[in-house]
Structure 1
Amino acid sequence: MSFPRPRNGRPSGSSGSSRSSSSTDPLIASGLLCQMKDREKYIETFNFPYCNNVGKYEKVVKIGQGTFSEVFKARDKKDRTKLVALKKVLMDNEKQGFPITVLRELKILQLLKHENVVNLIEICCTQASQENKYKPSFYLVFDFCEHDLAGLLSNANVKFSLGEIKHVMQQLLNGLFYIHSNKILHRDLKTANILMTKRGILKLADFGLARAFSVPKTGQQNRYTNRVVTLWYRPPELLLGDRNYGPPVDLWGAGCVMAEMWTRTPIMQGSSEIQQLLLISNLCGSISTDVWPGVEALDLFNKLELPRDLKRKVTDRLIPHVKDTYACDLLDKLLTLDPKQRVDSNTALNHNFFWTKPMPTDLCYMLSQLTQSMFVYKESSHRPGHTRAAHSQQMARAKPSSTIVDVNQDRVF
């Protein structure tokens, strides 16, 4: 028995569904288009509460670039004398909304109000439009600071007297004492993240890696990430895998910054985590249970062949540059291997270094002689590929090596 062949070459049962599909497809497409246009219109007219439009500020020049942000010097359009710093949050790779790290930074900055901590004025955004693919940009607005410490130290014409160095370090330690008292760790202390106003006021900046900390209960430990702090300023406990740490990680960075006030360049410039540990050992002595009880419990201590029988040389290496015995003694205490024995900010502020002549000297006069702002980012336009900030970021991302290269050359001393 044979069936009649359809005239159009298709199964006879498909003709009705074909007509139905062809008639409804345009309706579905039209409906989706309307939904899309309604969505775009909603986004274009939506205003974020508590966020002003960034158009109230006029960008002057770009002064900073990081992995997660760009920083611009800007001027208030209504008050032309008012300068601010606009920190643009980069969200090109974000697929799950606003970055959680920025939310953490905002919460911390709203909590901290101190003369030596950068001041967050407000949060601004751009209007969503077709031009920006309906993705508004968000900006953190700060009081403008004319310089960062890295930019000042990279300029050979800027010379700090001993009294001025004391004032810089006094303000830095005051800022650290304040944030630690409020249970906040900075976790990225370096000269590029220390700002200076033209009046000589130091400001701790860039809290993008900061977090709140707590004292663990008996028998428990914190489990913070140890992938923090730019490599050249990273303390030995983090390099050995410690995840139960606290304020001493910032004090190690303060010691590195203090030494840099004389050497004008980072004192330990490792190209990997392993080499950084070697440089630390060459300067601060071998890492062992004798000088650091409990270090054997850290994950990487028994997995690495660390150098042995190296003597501590912090004072010997630094005295030719520093030439102040009290300064060398404080540096020795800040660059202590065992974080439990490392001096805290309160004790450091009471050190004889700050209470002997010359006393801490105001920086206002020295900085008033400078005719332009100095930021380490601006240096990159003159020396591509050779800025400390760019290299530090590159080094911080370097993967650990499985072997230690015996490098005895000293890149500073």
Structure 2
Amino acid sequence: MSSHAKLMEELEFPYCENASEKYEKLTKIGQGTFGEVFKARDRKTKRIVAMKKVLMENEKEGFPITALREIRILQLLNHENVVKLIEICRSRAGPYNRFKSTFYLIFEFCEHDLAGLLSNANVKFTLGDIKRVMQQLLNGLYFIHTNKILHRDMKAANVLITKNGVLKLADFGLARAYSSLNQKGGPPRYTNRVVTLWYRPPELLLGERSYGPSIDVWGAGCIMAEMWTRSPIMQGNTEQHQITLISQLCGSICPEVWPDCDKLDLYDKLEVPKGMKRKVKERLKPYVKDQFALDLLDKMLQIDPSKRVDCDTALNHDFFWEDPSPSDLSIMLSRHNQSMFEYLAPPRRRGHVPQPQQARPPTDQHFERVF
């Protein structure tokens, strides 16, 4: 054993409980680039929690900066619609983990994620249910944006819902604090290699590095449409394909619609389709029968980030205030006693492209449609 490994094995973490002594892993509920997530039980209190393993394999310099950032942000954010970080635990270093301590973030447990619910044909969302999901989603985003945090990975799998119908924004692994100015007084510059491709807004695809809360609103708009289509609405294979899909739905990306977009780094490097008409309402109408919902979707999926609605304005939209009112989700969820997570669901298929004149499929069958 190397002296470094020996040192690691001897390290004590007096304020960091031993994961396997305190918690019993029950089942794996998630897997991603970030590592694995398990459902677990506190051996003493019997409380059910989620354990997210911090990937340490590639770390040369100690604890991963992305995990530190996630922990710091979650410690700052205390809100009903943001997942709660309970504590950080570790497992002892030994030969089974290459003499590196494994760390776990321990979260409150949520029974479902939105991607898992949407992939199950038996889960039926009424208009009131969809309003309640979106109201809580926008409330959570409004709170983090007010606290100057960008989520940067909005997608249905990162939206958790408890069996009592409380929605929680989760997975802050890509989140960061933002400001309107950098230390030298100029615009800040962040990486644009964030947000899962299908939910990535046009400004990131075109190389913008000075962005703000509107990137999360675009993702929320994609999620909102998905509440009806039951499948991600723009499933690009590459950045180029994603830009084409956005143009087909939202119209051509051009300086007339979005001033100075042609000055973005990748505007000339990608093929940006010309002469496309905006068809958000027309293409979504076969699914979304509510005119207020269509109007809010239209405002969330604006090409120009400065014209995109913010969370506060969205929460005041007629969609939330016209009948039916937002419903209590626990009533619908009480019909389902099985947890639903994207990881445990069959992969969501790509459907065929719906034509605008198509009637909406009967509500008693599960349908997968992709624009």
Q: TM-score, normalised by structure 1?
A: 0.83
- Contact 1:189/1:233 (8 A) holds in 2: yes
Query: Does residue 147 in structure 1 map to residue 106 in structure 2?
Result: no
1:279-322 deviation line (CA, Å, top 9, x unaligned) = 00000001111110121221111233321111100000111101
1:248-285 deviation line (CA, Å, top 9, x unaligned) = 00000000000000000000001100010000000000
1:26 — aligned with what? none
Identity score, percent: 65
1:395 — aligned with what? none
Count the aligned residue pairs: 355
Deviation at 1:234, TM superposition (A): 0.1
1:116 — aligned with what? 81
Structure 2 counterparts to residues 38-77 of structure 1, below 5 A: 42-55=7-20, 56-77=22-43
Name which of 38, 45, 59 aligns with 1:79: 45
- Could you tell which deviates more after superposition, 177-186 or 95-104? 95-104
- Contact 1:73/1:84 (8 A) holds in 2: yes
Q: Secondary structure at the match of 2:338?
A: coil
List runs of 5+ in structure 2 lacking aligned partners: 356-368
Q: Secondary structure at the match of 2:26?
A: strand
1:278 — aligned with what? 244
Query: Does residue 319 in structure 1 map to residue 285 in structure 2?
Result: yes
- Contact 1:260/1:266 (8 A) holds in 2: yes
1:199 — aligned with what? 164
1:124-155 deviation line (CA, Å, top 9, x unaligned) = 00112233332110000000000000000000
- Contact 1:377/1:387 (8 A) holds in 2: no
Change (3 A) 1:112 1:219: closer
Structure 2 counterparts to residues 11-410 of structure 1, below 5 A: 36=3, 42-55=7-20, 56-80=22-46, 82-216=47-181, 220-379=186-345, 383=346, 386-387=347-348
Give the distance between the partners of 1:387 and 1:134, measured in 2 at CA.
38
Deviation at 1:339, TM superposition (A): 0.1
Give the distance between the partners of 1:354 and 1:45, measured in 2 at CA.
56
The one-letter code sitting in structure 1 at the alignment partner of 2:170 is: A
The one-letter code sitting in structure 2 at the alignment partner of 1:76 is: D
1:60-85 deviation line (CA, Å, top 9, x unaligned) = 000000112100000010122x1000
Q: Secondary structure at the match of 1:52?
A: coil
The one-letter code sitting in structure 2 at the alignment partner of 1:192 is: A
Change (3 A) 1:291 1:76: same
Change (3 A) 1:313 1:128: same
Give the distance between the partners of 2:354 and 2:284, measured in 1 at CA.
16
1:412 — aligned with what? 370
List runs of 5+ in structure 1 lacking aligned partners: 1-32, 392-406
- Contact 1:185/1:247 (8 A) holds in 2: yes
Deviation at 1:222, TM superposition (A): 1.3
Give the distance between the partners of 1:256 and 1:43, measured in 2 at CA.
45
Change (3 A) 1:70 1:255: same
Change (3 A) 1:387 1:50: farther
1:5-56 deviation line (CA, Å, top 9, x unaligned) = xxxxxxxxxxxxxxxxxxxxxxxxxxxx9x94xx666543422142111020
1:186-217 deviation line (CA, Å, top 9, x unaligned) = 00000000000000000000000000000126
Change (3 A) 1:130 1:241: same
Deviation at 1:348, TM superposition (A): 0.1
The one-letter code sitting in structure 1 at the alignment partner of 2:135 is: Q
The one-letter code sitting in structure 2 at the alignment partner of 1:183 is: K
- Could you tell which deviates more after superposition, 287-296 or 151-160? 287-296
Give the distance between the partners of 2:231 and 2:72, measured in 1 at CA.
33
Give the distance between the partners of 1:72 and 1:183, measured in 2 at CA.
30
Give the distance between the partners of 1:269 and 1:228, measured in 2 at CA.
16
- Contact 1:186/1:210 (8 A) holds in 2: yes
Give the distance between the partners of 1:275 and 1:44, measured in 2 at CA.
48
Give the distance between the partners of 1:188 and 1:110, measured in 2 at CA.
18
Change (3 A) 1:40 1:318: closer
- Contact 2:197/2:242 (8 A) holds in 1: yes
Structure exhibiting the larger radius of gyration computed from Cα positions: 1
The one-letter code sitting in structure 2 at the alignment partner of 1:351 is: H
1:153-180 deviation line (CA, Å, top 9, x unaligned) = 0000000000010000000000000000
The one-letter code sitting in structure 2 at the alignment partner of 1:123 is: I
- Contact 2:119/2:348 (8 A) holds in 1: no
The one-letter code sitting in structure 2 at the alignment partner of 1:114 is: H
Q: Secondary structure at the match of 2:96?
A: coil
